Structure 1
Amino acid sequence: MNNLNQRPHSRTTNLTLTAVVAALYAAITMMVAPIGFGPVQLRLSEGLNHLAAWNKRYILALSLGVLIANLFSPMGWIDWVFGTLDTVIMTSLTYVLTRKVASALMKIIISTISVLTVGMAVLAAEFTFAFAIKATGSFAPDHAGTIWENWLSYYIMLVPGELASLVVGGVVIYALSKFVNLAK
């Protein structure tokens, strides 16, 4: 009988944590909205991506947070679809790569590499696609060239802001992991 009493609490806790992280991601993004969108961005909420290294619930939470924040993106549906899909991919990869890693620091390092490589590659492709089809709200690369040159240009523009966000988030998540069991 005791398991029956704990099961609804567990579902409630998962749902609550998912909602809180999604709302936190969206709120932080909106606080820095002018610089939270576009190829040169500082989206501090991206530092929350490290949470996926502790529990798969954060894949959904972060993806929902991105979707909510991207509802205000100047690129509209392209950012809703591809930005959210990018988050699903990179946070899932982070979760898979860190499932058996015990060290909080290693989890953050792996998460950072996952986001900076796969995550920013997909986001650069999104911007390249949006610019190529002349989508509303798309941003021109720093030069007009081939698709590969445009993609590389976007990638290079995205990485510094993302790295800054991941470092700040990494410090916060690392400190939090010392006091809170993020895996539960």
Structure 2
Amino acid sequence: MENNNLPTSPNKARNITLVAIVAAIYAAITFVIQPIAFGPVQLRVSEGLNHLAAWNKRYIISLGIGVLIANLVSPLGWIDWIFGTLGTVIMTGVTYLLTRRVTQPIIKILISTFVVATLGMAILAAEFTFAFNIGAHGASPSGAKGGLLAQWGAYYVSLVPGEVVSLIIGGIVVYALSKIINLER
């Protein structure tokens, strides 16, 4: 007869702990910089942690949870809870898939930066376009003249600079960490 009440294995406990720590760090950084972490022009420095997904798939979960927690205070409310979290899971999942066999940290960070700045910000721009067009509380106008594509483009262009700055800062931190800690383990 099997005993289903056995303690959690050390590896499983370690993974759960790392997921919780990264999620908490993401949320805490976002809360601290809250005034500049939301909206169509933002500098969410915690986004630099997205690079971690290039090392281990557990960080896809971590970052998704961290974004969900951080977005609980988003002016967009439920829209950001759902679409912000889903966008993070998608972009970090793609990052993980594209970097699984890459061994050089700089290349992992460059791939991650490209995926997050393109795919991630495209999803976020679509979220803002949707929110504005349904008249969601907390939605900001894009300032674009024209249809949905023009609005999406205006949001995308306004989001990318802050994201790239966050990814550069995060890239430096994650690169340094990768030199002293095995992020894949």
User: How does the TM-score come out when normalised to structure 1?
Assistant: 0.96
Match of 1:88 in 2: 89
Gap regions ≥5 residues in structure 2: 1-5
Alignment-derived partner of residue 100 in structure 2: 99
Q: Deviations over 1:131-165 (max 9, x none)?
A: 00010111111234210000000000000000000
CA-to-partner distance for each residue in 1:84-120, whole Å, 9 max, x for gaps? 0000000000000000000000000000000011000
1:6 deviates by: 11
Equivalent residue number for residue 65 of structure 1: 66
Aligned partner letter, 1:167: I
Number of the residue aligned with 2:136:
135
1:65 to partner: Cα distance: 0.1
Amino acid at match of 1:143: A
Residue 113 (str. 1) matches residue 114 (str. 2): yes
Counterpart for residue 158 of structure 2? 157
Structure 1 residue ranges (4+ consecutive) displaced by more than 6 angstroms after TM superposition: none
In structure 1, runs of 5+ residues without a counterpart are none
Distance of 2:124 and 2:80 partners within structure 1: 9
Secondary structure of the equivalent of 2:9? helix
Query: SS of the residue aligned with 1:116?
Result: helix
Percent sequence identity is 61
RMSD: 1.3
Partner of 1:32: 33
Q: Displacement of 1:172 after TM fit?
A: 0.4
**Cα distance between partner residues in 2 of 1:145 and 1:78:** 23
Corresponding residue pairs, total: 180
- Report the Cα distance in structure 2 between the residues aligned to 1:134 and 1:144, rounded to whole angstroms: 17
User: For the residues of structure 2 that align with 1:171 and 1:105, how far apart are their CA atoms?
Assistant: 10
Instruction: Tell me the amino acid that sits aligned with residue 71 of structure 1.
Output: L
Take 2:7 and 2:95, find their aligned partners in 1: how far apart are those partners?
29
